[in-house]
Amino acid sequence: MNSLVLSTVTRLLAPLLLVFSVFVLLRGHNEPGGGFIGGLLAAIAFILINKAEGTRTARRALRILPLTLASIGLSCSIAAGLWGLLSGGAFLQGIWPLIDIQPDGSKSGIAAGSILLFDIGVYLVVIGSVTGIYLALEDGIARSMD
């Protein structure tokens, strides 16, 4: 598709969607959001780029092959589970290395740990598989049109 309006808007919207997807990913820690929905938002950004500029640009914007991205994500999630097993004693247990618990019971520090790593893994799996399926379908349509 060759539309000036779409490609101009995409140049604005795609980065915005990507930043928003990371925001949703981090927000999911305590509130609605999370890796799955964040990943879908990020995938929409790449699908938009594909609609405006074609599959080649979309693949270049992704930098890594979609399935490789999904595989890295899956590895991250497994690693998060094993992290909990090794330092917490149970698979998938939440580990918070950056949080200190004060003597009065209050907590301080950054709430980033194995659960965030797990969610990032989900985020990457969703981006990888959704864009992978979408780009494969686009390739199939392009091939059938030739």
Q: Considering only residues 52, 81, 83, 130, which one is a binding residue for other proteins as defined by CB under 8 A?
A: 81
Q: Is residue 92 a contact point for other proteins (CB under 8 A)?
A: yes
- 3-state DSSP of the chain: CCCHHHHHHHHHHHHHHHHHHHHHHHHCCCCCCCHHHHHHHHHHHHHHHHHHHCHHHHHHHHCCCHHHHHHHHHHHHHHHHHHHHHHHCCCCCCCCCCEEECCCCCEEECCCCHHHHHHHHHHHHHHHHHHHHHHHHHHHHHHHHC
Q: Smallest distance, Å, CB 68 to other proteins?
A: 6
Cβ closer to other proteins: 6 or 92? 92
The answer to the question of residue 117 lying near other proteins (CB under 8 A) is no
- Taking CB under 8 A as the rule, does residue 64 contact other proteins? no
Residue 54 or 88: the one with the smaller Cβ distance to other proteins is: 88
